[in-house]
Amino acid sequence: MTMDWDACTDEYEKLIIRMSTPRVVIDNAVCPTATLVKVDSARRHGILLDAVEVLTDLNLLIKKAYISSDGRWFMDVFHVTYQNGNKLTDERVLKYIEQALGCIDNGRTIGSNGLTALELTGTDRVGLLSEVFAVLADLQCDVVEAKVWTHNGRIASLIYVKDCDSGSTIEDSQKINKIEVRLRNVLKGDNDIRSAKTSVSMAVTHTERRLHQMMFTDRDFERTPILKFTADAPLVTVQNWAERGYSVVNIQCKDRMKLLFDVVCNLTYMEYIVFHATVNTDSVQAYLEFYIRHKDGTPISSEPERQRVIQCLKAAVERRASEGVRLELCTEDRQGLLAEVMRTFRENGLNVTRAEVSTMGNKVTNVFYVTDAIGNPADPKIIESVRQKIGFSNLEVKELPLVCHQQKAEREDQAFGVGGAVLMSIGNLLRRNLYNMGLINSCS
């Protein structure tokens, strides 16, 4: 009897592929309030972040999660909904989730977008963004996408631009050098000579992962916290479970979009491995518990390290926290538009604490969170004056800070609940993700 070794080898390779390829099950029948997304895969460092990223990039809410990755296997169950609380029903979305999660064992990849990436970090101040975008407009750089975070007096921004003349990536080395020098001078201001940083890259990266990295590298978690008008400071505790060799991290904070992503992202970059975790949310609060170890299998070993983990995770939660009035600018795109809008904010004493800029076709959808110059809620009269200058139909108030919601709730006998939660529309955000995936055509 002879053995076909080639056939045996082929079958062995097929078995290995089947064992290592993630198994994804999406179930809409088990839970009446959420869609269950189950993932089984071989374990590797960062795979949890990749899985959470797939869901949060679609702006889905993760209401509950159960995570286990002991041994060599990774098993997750996510309870997800649209932002309006409904279960997932769009077959295109379900198909994309299944395909994307089915590939996470190889790590997530991001396709080239043909844009130039500008990375900026420095000391935040009123009017800084106005100066940044004015410089870009003056240098004939068209801002296509951008995200800006501020935390503890620091700012991190990732701005994707194209050359106004060529309509594509900026390749002129002299122009790139000029952009870096001028932006660095803006960031330095009068007192940030050492920490202001700029870089220009053609590399494609996941924007929010990179922003967390930039803030973490800038050590925003060590800086003196800026007083806030919101009472939603996260509660973070870290304890060791000596018998099982785990460090147990508990986080309690206000629930919001992408909360789990932000926490897992920072645990991953701090090089901790999550072996078990549970996530539970109610209508307001989120409760997260993680059992972690170092890559070498040891728990947190000292009090300074424990305090550092607490500081870093508090910062991870706070960076994306929405301070101020949420304003949405939706209008036709044109050269210099962003610089004009930011100048109007600055001239009226409004400080931008967070910003998201996106372009699809000839339409722009920009989101700004604004406060007054010292971080307090902006005067509604100033907001209305700014809207009048930019255009009432172009710039709309979409969300007020918690303080305003509480005052409104008191006036209306709490008819809408403390905080007056306002759900964001998933329409434009989900449509943009589906457009980038090639699942729908542009509607512009």
419 versus 61: the higher-pLDDT residue is 61
Q: How confident is the model at residue 415 (pLDDT cuts 50, 70, 90)?
A: very low
Which DSSP category does 205 fall into? -
Q: In what helix (H) or strand (E) does residue 98 lie, and over which residues does it extend?
A: helix 91-101
**In which region does residue 324 sit, left (phi positive, over 0), alpha (psi from -120 to 50) or beta (all else)?**
left
Find the mean pLDDT for residues 48-75.
Answer: 93
> What is the average pLDDT value for the chain, to the nearest integer?
85
- Supply the pLDDT for residue 399: 74
DSSP for 131-169, please give it.
HHHHHHHHTTEEEEEEEEEEETTEEEEEEEEEETTTSS-
Is residue 402 over pLDDT 90?
Answer: no
Q: How confident is the model at residue 114 (pLDDT cuts 50, 70, 90)?
A: confident
Is residue 112 over pLDDT 90?
Answer: no
Tokens of 174: 């002299």
Contact 267, 277 (CB under 8 A): no
Q: Cα separation of 110 and 361, whole Å?
A: 20
- Supply the pLDDT for residue 434: 46
Q: Is 386 exposed, middle or buried (0-12, 13-18, 19+ CB in 10 A)?
A: buried
Q: Find the range with the poorest average confidence among 49-63, 271-285, 417-431.
A: 417-431
Is residue 323 over pLDDT 70?
Answer: yes
Dihedral (Cα; 227, 232, 234, 235), 10-degree rounding: 110
Q: Is the full-model pTM beyond 0.85?
A: no
Residues in the chain: 444
* Portion of the chain with pLDDT greater than 90, in percent: 68
Q: Cα separation of 155 and 148, whole Å?
A: 7
**Locus of tokens 């959420």:** 34
Is residue 419 over pLDDT 50?
Answer: no
Tokens of 321: 């926290």
Q: Was domain 322-437 assigned CATH 3.30.70.260?
A: yes
- Supply the pLDDT for residue 352: 96
- Supply the pLDDT for residue 194: 65
Find the mean pLDDT for residues 15-20.
Answer: 50
Contact 198, 119 (CB under 8 A): yes
Render pLDDT for 325-344 as a digit per residue (tens, 0 to 9).
999 999 999 989 999 999 99
8 versus 191: the higher-pLDDT residue is 191
Of 39-43, 145-149, 374-378, which has the strongest mean pLDDT? Answer: 145-149
**Domain ranges across the chain:** 17-109+228-318, 322-437
Q: Cα separation of 354 and 351, whole Å?
A: 9
Q: Cα separation of 423 and 408, whole Å?
A: 16
Render pLDDT for 421-443 as a digit per residue (tens, 0 to 9).
333 334 444 444 444 444 444 43
- Supply the pLDDT for residue 444: 37
φ/ψ of residue 342, rounded to 5: -65, -35
Render pLDDT for 143-152 as a digit per residue (tens, 0 to 9).
999 999 999 9
Tokens of 357: 């800029």
Q: Cα separation of 275 and 48, whole Å?
A: 10
Is residue 418 over pLDDT 60?
Answer: no
Residues β-bridged to residue 379: none
Is residue 29 over pLDDT 80?
Answer: yes
Q: In what helix (H) or strand (E) does residue 130 lie, and over which residues does it extend?
A: helix 128-138
- Supply the pLDDT for residue 166: 83
Is residue 83 over pLDDT 80?
Answer: yes
Express the helix, strand and coil content of the chain in percent, nearest 5 each: 35, 30, 35
Q: How confident is the model at residue 413 (pLDDT cuts 50, 70, 90)?
A: very low
Q: Is 410 exposed, middle or buried (0-12, 13-18, 19+ CB in 10 A)?
A: exposed
Is residue 228 over pLDDT 90?
Answer: no
Give, in order, the Cα–Cα distances in Å from 286 to each of 64, 219, 310.
9, 25, 17
- Supply the pLDDT for residue 24: 96
Which DSSP category does 220 fall into? G
Is residue 394 over pLDDT 80?
Answer: yes
Is residue 49 over pLDDT 80?
Answer: yes
CB neighbourhood size of 295 (10 A): 9
DSSP, collapsed to helix, strand or coil, labels residue 58 as coil
Selection from 202, 200, 254 nearest residue 232 by Cα: 254
Q: Cα separation of 283 and 80, whole Å?
A: 14
Of 103-107, 265-269, 401-405, which has the strongest mean pLDDT? Answer: 265-269
φ/ψ of residue 302, rounded to 5: -150, 160
Q: Which residues have CB under 8 Å from 258's CB, separation 6+? A: 56, 208, 320
- Supply the pLDDT for residue 104: 84
Find the mean pLDDT for residues 408-416.
Answer: 39
Q: How confident is the model at residue 227 (pLDDT cuts 50, 70, 90)?
A: low
- Supply the pLDDT for residue 416: 34
Is residue 370 over pLDDT 90?
Answer: yes
Q: In what helix (H) or strand (E) does residue 96 lie, and over which residues does it extend?
A: helix 91-101
257 versus 167: the higher-pLDDT residue is 257
